[in-house]
Structure 1
């Protein structure tokens, strides 16, 4: 049996295969702070990995602009054994050729540490068969992601006949920590869940092209202008429940169920003749209109970020996963790595005190207004995110909020000092001006990261409240002590220029 433990917060991940999926896995792990060693015989591996990482960094900065977690370290391994020898978690992402995967998974099994979990990215091959060459099949799990792995949160997790449930639990826990929505497949089945659905759609789409009913672009339009929009947040069954009206799914099935007997679909693939391959390829080329693959990938990522951001605002479907992961990353970035000191807090300010780094990000294109620079409400967003990071630092986390205690902002004075432009790296530092148990007085400075130019400042007064009673109360002991400690440390800092200033005063 596998050891019944959980992996630590920072893992060493060995990746075998650095193609589209393997590189996407590397990007997701690295951007969540995990070290990665990648092996692939492709001589162009380093360049391809960096291209995917560039896409991932760009997407992450747009999706979570105020979250800055130090990246893990990337290493290109010369051999498979070198990539997996020290790994806590191993990911195989080779082509969907069963014999190849069986052979390579056997090699991984022999080279890996006994306690390492081995995950295959297969999109549909059975793990019981893939484990045929492994001496330790109990550690093999399926972790099937979706492209781009660094943005789409779904991962299907499935075990084989001899997989230890503890290995599945360890894999699921790690996937959760890197911001993924784990779908545990209840039964080992070819294609798992998502690909069986995708294959049915793909086969019918090929028939529509083969029969001359529609072109590749028209089929894509039928999805992206219609059902695809609602699929992204409600899926199939919930949408059909709505189609049943107040009577729900039972009424929908009674009304539309008989249509299932009509011979509308074939659900078997057409023969991929040379003529059909040519037709699909030519129509796809025309649809792409000469756009380079990297340009299409960036457009895809930008649209996914927009959809995920909108769903995050609703705290629904994939957006709820993004929101929870963003909170976790912000808390990790704000919390010091060192364990808290057992010594009582000092009453004297620290001689090394400095304003706290609370936010960092890059200005995305959709933050730019008609004047060509960052629009005004985004400045407030940066300062609001900085305040949240400071609150996380002093202990205002999900558990604290669940106790019906929080801080409300009662006053904000924002002053614009310069202009931020698309692509510029920005950073916020925060100084605690005063804290008395109920009130928290902050001063934020937003600067251009490259040269330190001050672009804006925000002075805020926060009040600690009992959210159930709707009144101000003194913060709990640990949070109150953390507030006081920061206020003491910052008491010796110079008073920021503009602090206490009224509107319209120079």
Structure 2
């Protein structure tokens, strides 16, 4: 699928990274003289975050090509993401250029944070395909996207966006600023008054959010948080107890303080004191690391954004489009990320096991033991592993795992993996015994005929003898000394 991105700023760059890291080619048009540098820096931060976020081997990134015009960028595109500044006249001009050159079936999503689809569609040739697809920064990590516009195009857009790890939320009725920004605007207005009236500083307000209700919102949202606050009686009790307070004159939500020079100076000075020790790129990486940590915690409970991460990982493990290449099988490759190395600068011990585990997953998927099969209540569990570490591996190296089937019966399979470096030398080997199990019953179970047939087909390709180290455990120190004498 070809993606076109018109605009490569903060939001546009995030979209480009999201699509490219998911394996899609992206054609970009942005006349800004620094656009390629900006997008390159966003891509670097995004790739760093994804290496930390996902345990599954990532797909090969799609190619990013820079077009000389909008027409060149959108030619042949299946989906176009427009992310130009928030000026309606500019968006109308850009959308007209997109429509003039994009195929008739191309879906066009606008990152607009405020304009309604009906406003964007004025003068359009095919208005139904122009939608709002409003994300939140950083787009390459935060999954939610507000999709406004309805119809078949919105449904198709949601499919495309969900396939790259987004959480599309279709909004039935259009409204200025959609949903997310209207909620943020309410909090922002109140925060401005708290600073203007000298009640709190920018840092104090941020501390109350990030150490308090922000943590609750990150994993449960607003209404479900308040449902819990209602105790066993739930939301009805909460509304009955705290609802009357809504009529008290606590807030100034509909009254906006004038952003005069004095207030701007106050906020800017407090913000510099709060965060000025870090550059913007440093703050972005700190933000990304914190988000990754929250996502990993949520993934462990299969909750909220963590479920999106798990679903993306399942897709990465499936490695669609990576067929077997001869025998021994070569189903898995990985470029060693920086997070995989230890204090010596070498790939740390447990990452060898991860590479072997990912290669095992690739073999299981290859023979038909994929996510759909596991959903039937059966899987394969590793019950024994023997690893030999033969060479040092550094960050940035491309590793290929070569796999042989050493044997199988009605319930078991025995795999041998070799991690090969770019020069063909062996960095490590792993031997693994797997047991086919009934996951509901928690015990071994016979494999069905289809799996046995797939294993038999692999066994028929095995010509040479088993490696001399196969089936051998850790040698006695004395035996090693005798062998070396």
1:483 aligns with 2:455: yes
Match of 1:500 in 2: 471
- Number of residue pairs the alignment of both structures matches: 476
CA distance in 2, matches of 1:28, 1:234: 24
What SS does structure 1 have at the residue aligned with 2:142? coil
| Alignment of structure 1 residues 457-476 onto 2, 5 Å | 457-476=429-448
Deviation string, structure 1 residues 354-374 (Cα, Å, up to 9, x no partner): 342435243444x56677765
Match of 2:278 in 1: 291
Q: In structure 1, which of residues 155, 169, 172 is the aligned counterpart of residue 155 of structure 2? A: 169
Q: Give the C-alpha shift of residue 174 in structure 1.
A: 0.3
RMSD: 2.4
Q: Give the C-alpha shift of residue 169 in structure 1.
A: 0.9
CA contact (8 A) 1:358 1:386 kept: yes
1:93 aligns with 2:66: no
CA contact (8 A) 1:443 1:457 kept: yes
CA distance in 1, matches of 2:125, 2:289: 44
| Alignment of structure 1 residues 450-461 onto 2, 5 Å | 454-461=426-433
Higher mean displacement: 468-477 or 79-88: 468-477
Match of 1:394 in 2: 367
Match of 1:35 in 2: 25
TM-score (norm 1): 0.88
Q: 1:320 to 1:354 in 2, by over 3 A?
A: same
Q: Give the C-alpha shift of residue 148 in structure 1.
A: 1.1
Q: In structure 1, which of residues 115, 139, 145 is the aligned counterpart of residue 105 of structure 2? A: 115
Unaligned runs of 5+ residues in structure 1 are 1-10, 338-349
| Alignment of structure 1 residues 67-466 onto 2, 5 Å | 67-159=57-149, 165-268=151-254, 269-333=256-320, 335-336=322-323, 352-365=326-339, 376-418=349-391, 426-446=399-419, 449=421, 454-466=426-438
CA distance in 2, matches of 1:230, 1:498: 53
CA contact (8 A) 1:335 1:392 kept: no
Q: 1:133 to 1:60 in 2, by over 3 A?
A: same
Q: In structure 2, which of residues 28, 32, 36 is the aligned counterpart of residue 46 of structure 1? A: 36
What SS does structure 2 have at the residue aligned with 1:132? coil
Q: Give the C-alpha shift of residue 23 in structure 1.
A: 1.2
CA distance in 1, matches of 2:273, 2:465: 63
CA contact (8 A) 1:241 1:252 kept: yes
CA contact (8 A) 2:322 2:331 kept: no
The structure with higher relative contact order (CA 8 Å, sep 6+) is 1
Deviation string, structure 1 residues 412-435 (Cα, Å, up to 9, x no partner): 223444555666665544332222
What SS does structure 2 have at the residue aligned with 1:135? coil
CA contact (8 A) 2:319 2:362 kept: no
Deviation string, structure 1 residues 146-173 (Cα, Å, up to 9, x no partner): 11111111111110xxx5x110111000
Unaligned runs of 5+ residues in structure 2 are 481-485
Q: 1:277 to 1:426 in 2, by over 3 A?
A: farther
